[in-house]
């Protein structure tokens, strides 16, 4: 074993031991006495199945396989090349035998699987999560938790019905110095907070105009589409550019905005807005990209609090020296959380009051694995929830609320006007056209609903 892997093992041990420092104890809603009788034993490794392992899923598979209290036992993907690549990487990190599946539903039939990790495209996140819950599995689902608001509400209901853990991939909720920053904010470090600003910047290339061709032999195109109504294969969709097409993806707002809006919602202690608006468009290139490459979402929470998210997919100029970040503005100063595990507090004149340095450097523009060591905290929090009933850092209720905020921004963008929102439940008020985007149509036989 090399020096880097030894260091990695030591980090994981430290992570497992210290994760309890960053969680609040408690019993998960939906857990009963009977549920606790079924909780995995403290000394048993958690058996995980990975669904969607081309990019981010491959990185997650390696991270889960590196946890000493976990075995990756199944790898599932509709791309045979992705399976081969991921299997090689996982086998370098653990000794147990791994089975592979083209269809993840076969994996769910196994009684050996304790939890499923879902990192397939966005249109799969909620349907696959529901199928896993129905099969009696715990779930780790990457952001966003859903393709549309209706799916998110279904998952919230499903979590209560099935009593299983669902951790959403808002990993920053488990990063120690970010947690400390939010705690300082809530303790009054900058006084009453009234405005939050967040952003993401990049310099993405054009995706061109795709040509309809036969799907490659390494890809099960029908299963890749799954719950989405069928479309012909184009040569510029798989694997990443689906993000920018509404049929499968959710744009930059949910691809990266979800993380930052979640931090603002967490720090400002709000749930649902009263008004949402969005401005922007696909400005940089003329190609198949449908979602905005330039977008500003504004969310009002009554008359005394608001937040914004600015997304620039095709102009990489950083804001406050960071490609991604949030700033909270309050009566007595501001608090800045950049891309990494750090935070800085300023007074009203912009002078630094406190500067908490990052525990390690990350690359927020890395599409697959920007912060693998820090993300281990999030994984271990999920394992603690499964084994001990510990409170999740990013449960599905919280994940749905944060996802919904940017979904509402996209709906506003697509209908071309601001939306009035019911602050009690996040629902759109008196706008039939916008309400049509609350859910989606499905391929017959793939409809997402609670049984």
**Rg of the chain in Å (alpha carbons):** 21
Per-position DSSP letters for 62-75, written without gaps between them: HHHHHSTTEEEEEE
Q: Which two tokens stand for residue 10?
A: 């030591």
Tell me: the pLDDT tens digits for 103-140? 999 999 999 999 999 999 999 999 999 999 999 999 99
Average pLDDT estimate for 316-324: 97
Tell me: the pLDDT tens digits for 191-204? 999 999 999 999 99
What pLDDT shows up at residue 38? 40
Q: How far apart are CA 222 and CA 446, in angstroms?
A: 12
- In this structure, are residues 211 and 234 in contact, taking their beta carbons and an 8 Å threshold? yes
Q: How far apart are CA 199 and CA 127, in angstroms?
A: 29
Q: How far apart are CA 243 and CA 448, in angstroms?
A: 21
Q: How far apart are CA 384 and CA 107, in angstroms?
A: 23
Evaluate if residue 11 carries a pLDDT over 80: no
In terms of pLDDT, which residue wins out, 18 or 418? 418
Tell me the whole-structure pTM to 2 decimals: 0.89
What does pLDDT average to over the chain?
90
Average pLDDT estimate for 159-170: 97
Q: How far apart are CA 262 and CA 260, in angstroms?
A: 5
Q: Which CATH superfamily is domain 176-208+223-367+399-438 in?
A: Dihydrodipicolinate Reductase; domain 2 (3.30.360.10)
Query: 17 exposed, middle or buried (CB, 10 Å; 0-12, 13-18, 19+)?
Result: exposed
The domain segmentation of the chain, as residue ranges, is 3-173+371-395, 176-208+223-367+399-438
Number of other CB atoms surrounding residue 29 within 10 Å: 11
CATH second-level architecture of 3-173+371-395? 3-Layer(aba) Sandwich (3.40)
Q: How far apart are CA 26 and CA 384, in angstroms?
A: 11
> Helix crossing, 3-18 with 372-388: angle to 10°?
40
Strands 275-281 and 419-420: antiparallel
CA 335 to chain centre: 23
Q: Which two tokens stand for residue 152?
A: 């998110």
**CA quadruple 58, 60, 61, 67: dihedral positive or negative?**
positive
Tell me: the pLDDT tens digits for 67-78? 999 999 999 999
Describe the chain by its helix, strand, coil percentages, rounded to 5: 35, 20, 45
Do you find a cis peptide bond into 82, omega within 30 degrees of 0? Answer: no
Question: Could you tell me the pLDDT band of residue 373, with boundaries at 50, 70 and 90?
Answer: confident
3-state secondary structure of 190: coil
């Amino acid at each position: 074993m090399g020096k880097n892997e030894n260091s990695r093992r030591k980090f994981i041990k430290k992570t497992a031991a210290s994760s309890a420092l960053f969680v609040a104890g408690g019993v998960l809603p939906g857990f009963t006495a009977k549920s606790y009788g079924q909780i995995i034993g403290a000394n048993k490794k958690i058996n995980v199945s990975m669904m969607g392992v081309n990019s981010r899923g491959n990185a997650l598979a390696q991270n889960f396989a590196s946890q000493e209290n976990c075995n990756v036992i199944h790898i599932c993907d509709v791309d045979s090349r992705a399976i081969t690549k991921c299997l090689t990487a996982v086998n370098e990190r653990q000794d147990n035998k791994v089975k592979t599946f083209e269809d993840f539903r076969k994996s769910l039939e196994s009684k050996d699987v304790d939890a499923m990790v879902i990192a397939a495209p966005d249109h799969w996140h909620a349907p696959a999560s529901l199928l896993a819950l129905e099969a009696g599995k715990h779930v780790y689902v990457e952001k966003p938790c859903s393709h549309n608001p209706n799916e998110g509400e279904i998952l919230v209901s499903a979590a209560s019905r099935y009593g299983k853990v669902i951790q959403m991939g808002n990993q920053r909720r488990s990063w120690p110095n970010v947690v400390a920053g939010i705690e300082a904010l809530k303790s009054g470090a900058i006084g009453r907070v009234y405005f939050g600003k967040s952003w993401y910047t990049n310099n993405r290339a054009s995706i061109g105009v795709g040509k309809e061709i036969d799907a490659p032999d390494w890809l099960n195109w029908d299963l890749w589409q799954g719950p989405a109504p069928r479309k012909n294969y184009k040569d510029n969709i798989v694997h990443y550019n689906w993000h920018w097409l509404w049929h499968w993806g959710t744009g930059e707002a949910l691809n990266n905005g979800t993380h930052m809006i979640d931090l603002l919602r967490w720090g400002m202690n709000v749930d649902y807005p009263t008004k949402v608006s969005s401005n922007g468009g696909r400005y940089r290139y003329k190609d198949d990209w449908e979602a905005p490459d330039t977008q500003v979402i504004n969310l009002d929470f009554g008359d005394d609090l608001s937040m914004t998210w600015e997304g620039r997919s095709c102009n990489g100029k950083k804001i406050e020296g960071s490609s991604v970040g949030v700033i909270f503005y309050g009566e007595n100063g501001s608090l800045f959380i950049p891309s990494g595990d750090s935070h800085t507090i300023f007074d009203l004149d912009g002078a630094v009051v406190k500067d908490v340095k990052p525990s390690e450097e990350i690359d927020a523009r890395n599409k697959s694995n920007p912060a693998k060591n820090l993300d281990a905290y999030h994984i271990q929090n999920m394992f603690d929830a499964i084994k001990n009933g510990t409170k999740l850092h990013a449960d599905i209720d919280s994940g749905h609320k944060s996802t919904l905020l940017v979904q509402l921004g996209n709906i506003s963008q697509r209908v071309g006007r601001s939306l009035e929102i019911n602050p009690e439940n996040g629902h759109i008020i008196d706008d039939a056209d916008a309400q049509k985007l609350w859910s989606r149509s499905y391929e017959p036989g793939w409809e997402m609903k609670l049984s």
